[in-house]
A and B are shown apart, each in its own frame.
Chain A
Amino acid sequence: MPGTHDLLARVARKDERAFHSLYTRYADRVFRYALTLLHNRHLAEEVTQETMLAVWKGAGSFSGRSQISTWIFGIARNQAHTLLRREIKGERRPDEALFLPDPAPAVEREERVLTAVGTLPEEQREIVFLAFYENLSYKAIANLLAIPEGTVKSRMYYAKQRLAEALG
C-alpha cells in the first residue's frame, strides 16, 4: 500500500487514482470529524466535499511542516467553521441530532458513549475526537486548532471528567 506522502505527491501531479485512494483513506474520517463539530449530516457531507476538493487543488502546496492528517483536518475545520458562520447568519441552522447510528444494529454502550460526547462543548468534543480517534499528539492538536498546548491539555482534562461522570 503506498504511503500517504507518496499518494499526495501523485495527487499534486493530478493522478486521479491516487486521489481516489487518498479520498478512501480520509473521507470517512473527515466526515466524522465534521459531524462531531457540526451535528448535521448534510453540512458534514458538504465539509467533506469541499475539504477533499481543496486537497485535490492544493496538494502541490502542502509544505510538509505538519502531518498530512493534521493538514487535512485543518482544512476540514476551516470549512466547518465557514459553513457554521453561514448557517448562523440565518440561511439554515444545524438541526439534527448528532450521532445518528448506522442502519446496522446499534450497540447500546456505543450509543451511550456518543450521546455523552454529544453533550460536551464543541471545543472539548473535537479534542476528544482528535486525541482518541485520530491519535494526534497534543502538540499537533494545538497546531491544528491554533491554541496553546496548555489549553489542549486543560480541555482534555475537563472533557475526561465530564465523560467519566456521564459514563460512570
Chain B
Amino acid sequence: MIDCDKARELIPWYVNKTLAEEEEREIASHLAGCSTCREELAQAISLSWKLDTAFDRMPAVPERVWEKVRTRAQGISLAQIDVGSFLLGLSLGLSVTRSGIPKFKSDLRLLGRKVALFNSSKGGLK
C-alpha cells in the first residue's frame, strides 16, 4: 500500500496513463480511500487538460523548414562507386545523390600520392 507522498509523485503519470500496471493498481487503491489525493488528482487532470490545449496552440513549424530538410536530404550521398586501376594509377569516382545529379571525381596517383583532377561537385576541373 502506498502513502500520500508516493501517490502525489505518481499522479501526473496516472493522469497521462503511462504507469506500469502494478503502480496503477496501487494508486487506484490509494485514491479509493483518500479524499485529499482525489482532490490532487482532480487538480492534475485539470492542469493536464489546460497544458495539452495550450501546447497545442503553440505555433506550428513553418513550411520552409520542410523545404530545407527535403533539399538537404536529397543532397546526401546514397552510394559511391570507385573504379580504377591501381597499376595505371588512375581512379574514377561516381557518387549518386538523391537529386539524381551524379558527381564525378577522378584522381591520378603519382608515386602513391593522390592528385585530384576533376570533381564535379566542386565546379569542375581543378
Q: Mark A129-168, 1 if CB is under 8 A from B, else 0.
A: 1011101111010000000000001001100100110010
Q: Mark A52-89, 1 if CB is under 8 A from B, else 0.
A: 11001100000000000000000000000000000000
Contact assessment for A129 and B55 in the assembled complex, using a CB-CB cutoff below 8 Å: yes
Asked if B81 CB lies within 8 Å of chain A CBs, one says: no
Segment 1-56 of B: residues with Cβ below 8 Å from A: 8-10, 12-13, 16-19, 43-44, 47-48, 50-56
Asked if A91 CB lies within 8 Å of chain B CBs, one says: no
Q: Which of B54, B57, B76 has the most CB of A within 10 A?
A: B54
Contact assessment for B65 and A56 in the assembled complex, using a CB-CB cutoff below 8 Å: no
Contact assessment for B59 and A53 in the assembled complex, using a CB-CB cutoff below 8 Å: no
- What are the residues of chain B within 8 A of A107 when measuring CB–CB? 57
Contact assessment for B66 and A23 in the assembled complex, using a CB-CB cutoff below 8 Å: yes
Contact assessment for B69 and A23 in the assembled complex, using a CB-CB cutoff below 8 Å: yes
| Min CB gap A43→B, angstroms | 12
Total chain A interface residues with beta-carbon distance under 8 A: 50
Asked if A92 CB lies within 8 Å of chain B CBs, one says: no
Q: Mark A84-110, 1 if CB is under 8 A from B, else 0.
A: 000000000000000111100011011
Asked if A27 CB lies within 8 Å of chain B CBs, one says: yes
Known interface pairs A56-B73, A57-B76, A137-B19. Does A101 touch B57 (Cβ–Cβ under 8 Å)? yes
Contact assessment for A128 and B43 in the assembled complex, using a CB-CB cutoff below 8 Å: no
- 9 A-B contact pairs sorted by A residue (CB < 8 Å): A16-B73, A23-B66, A27-B65, A30-B61, A53-B72, A56-B76, A110-B54, A132-B16, A132-B52
Residues of B within 8 A of A (CB): 8-10, 12-13, 16-19, 43-44, 47-48, 50-62, 64-66, 68-70, 72-73, 76, 78, 98
Residues of A within 8 A of B (CB): 14, 16, 19-20, 23, 27-28, 30-32, 35-36, 41, 44-45, 48-49, 52-53, 56-57, 99-102, 106-107, 109-111, 113-114, 117, 128-129, 131-133, 135-138, 140, 153, 156-157, 160, 163-164, 167
